[in-house]
Amino acid sequence: MNTRNANVPRKPDNPPIKCQYFTWRMHCRDGVFYADGRGSKYDLGKHSLGTRDYGPAMERIKLLDLQKAVELGLADAKTLRQINEISIVDGWKSYLDFCGRSAVLGGVSPKSLQRYTAVRDKHVTFCARQGIVTWREFDKPALEKYGNWLSRKYADRTTYLELTLLKSVNNWLIATKKLPPDAKLQYDLQKPVGTDTYCYRREEVSAIVKHCLADAGLVWLAHVIIALAHTGLRIGELANLRWCDIDLSSNTIIVADERFSNRKRRSGAARKTKGRRSRAIPIHPRLRDLLHNLKRTPDGYVFHSQRGCRLRPNNALHTFIEEVIEPLKEQFATPAGEIGFEHARLHSFRHFFCSQAFLGGASEGEIREWLGHADSKMVEHYRHLRNEDAQRKMKQIDFVGLDDESSKGPV
């Protein structure tokens, strides 16, 4: 009975296999394939290929061919490392697959995954142009070069976030043993401080609301702006706000995160917040009056665009720029080279809310809860105390307990 492995080519003379550098003969013993490199110009020895399958055996004999070529100085060791180490493309695929796991397991939101994918695309393109094939090759100098390349095209905050993500990918590859520990990227990044987002003054917000109320076609936008200015909500959160989220008896708005609701998720109606948790915001009296007078519609949403259509954040932003910022930017002129009124957007009302809440005496903890931030660093990012507000606060402080007359000294 012939016990020869069925996968072995049935060629009685066992013909030589010519690889990139050497010629080998392959045979099977006890069902396992072996490569024999004896009898050529170099005595390459006899080696087990560690497999009983013909396809993998052919792949391994090619790798063995390259290994022997490196040992003899006939091939660059870098080529061998590239074969044994994870490539830029494969590393990104593994990491994004990990990030895309179930939310219960700690996976990121679809929007975050989309943002990571965009970073991946830029990074893969850069590495291809630089001839960087593996994650081991993407070392500290490569990170620095990539950071400089990003800085020529993007804002510092974007560069910081993308480089931080690359370090996270590197750490994850090491933690999952796809990269050796000595490949860790050691680079201290300087986080940009401040913000390019403009923060309104009270008189500007007042003028914006009056401008919208004076135009019958923009009354809906006035309602949106009043709500944004009195809640600090993101425009996407406001667009998804439903009447069931508003409890006038307790004077509270609930910003719901429904990512773990099976019924809502199956129907495609699950709402998600950036902070991944629900939060409660007290209703200001002026906002309460507005809510009391708003017409309720069958769709259950609180705010709508013109003619009662569903409020779409991008459409609202476009209308705001064209119908509000453009007509009013001469009234609130922006000095050359500065960030001013003409650069303001709907997100600027979130900054305005934070600033005014601080000035109104709200604690940092309260504002952090209302905005939905887990730490005070992000609240500090939104805080804007203008010079006139600082002057007013300074005048209210009695440092030494002297009246005006006694502080003048002898006449």
Residues 217-267 have pLDDT tens digits of: 999 999 999 999 999 999 999 999 999 999 998 999 988 776 666 666 666
Q: For residue 32, what is the enclosing H or E element? A: strand 32-36
Q: Which of 55-64, 141-150, 155-164, 247-256 shows the lowest per-residue confidence on average (mean pLDDT)?
A: 55-64
pLDDT tens digits, 263-314: 666 666 666 666 667 888 999 999 999 999 999 999 999 999 988 899 999 9
Asked whether 107 and 99 are in contact (CB, 8 A), the reply is yes
Residue 393 or residue 226, greater confidence? 226
* pLDDT at res. 319: 96
| CA separation for the pair 233, 367 (Å, rounded) | 12
pTM: 0.61
**Other beta carbons less than 10 A from residue 312's beta carbon:** 14
Q: Is the pLDDT of residue 171 over 90?
A: yes
Mean predicted lDDT score pLDDT of the chain: 84
Which of the four pLDDT bands, split at 50, 70 and 90, describes residue 12? Answer: very low
The answer to whether the beta carbons of residues 40 and 23 sit under 8 Å apart is yes
The model's confidence at residue 194, banded by pLDDT at 50, 70 and 90, is low
Domain boundaries of the chain, sorted by first residue: 17-84, 88-183, 202-392
Structure-model confidence comparison of residues 410 and 271, the more confident one:
271
- Class level of CATH domain 202-392: mainly alpha
Buried b (16+ CB within 10 A) or exposed e, 288-305: eebbeeeeeeeeebbbbb
